[in-house]
Amino acid sequence: MLAAVGRVDPLGVVAPPAAEVGFPSSLSARFLSASGAWICHVFNGATAVTLAALGWIPWLSAAGFLLMLIDLADGTLRPALGARPTQIGLRQLLASTLFAFLSVIGFALESV
């Protein structure tokens, strides 16, 4: 009975199966559904690389923006469908921490 309804977590909340959520299965459909995020991340990455090439920001800071673009590509190619929320949160925490670390270290090394 529960398999037909969905998955029940310990709190009693029913999560619908992946097929019912409407998750796009083809790669082109996944890229299309994430097109807004792709536009934002590509713009941010290109802007950061341009500013780093002009010498206005450190290269490590630009690398942080490119890291976020790589994280988006990974999330688009291998979506976290069915993963526990804790796993998704830890992945996002790691990506954000690495971004902040690269930016801070980049600016710290530039000011020395």
Q: Under a CB-based contact definition with an 8 Å cutoff, are residues 22 and 16 in contact?
A: no
Q: What is the 3-state secondary structure (H, E, C) of the chain?
A: CHHHHCEECCCCCEECCHHHHCCCCCHHHHHHHCHHHHHHHHHHHHHHHHHHHCCCCCHHHHHHHHHHHHHHHHHHHCCCCCCCHHHHHHHHHHHHHHHHHHHHHHHHHHHC
Assess if residue 72 is contained within a domain: yes
| Domain, as residue range, for 94 | 58-112
The domain tally of the chain equals 1
Assess if residue 83 is contained within a domain: yes
Assess if residue 64 is contained within a domain: yes
Assess if residue 43 is contained within a domain: no
**Full-model pTM:** 0.70
Structure tokens at 25: 């299965």
| Per-residue pLDDT tens digits of the chain, which is 112 residues long | 444 555 555 555 555 555 555 566 788 888 888 889 999 999 999 999 999 999 999 999 999 999 999 999 998 888 888 889 999 899 999 999 999 999 999 999 987 6
Assess if residue 89 is contained within a domain: yes
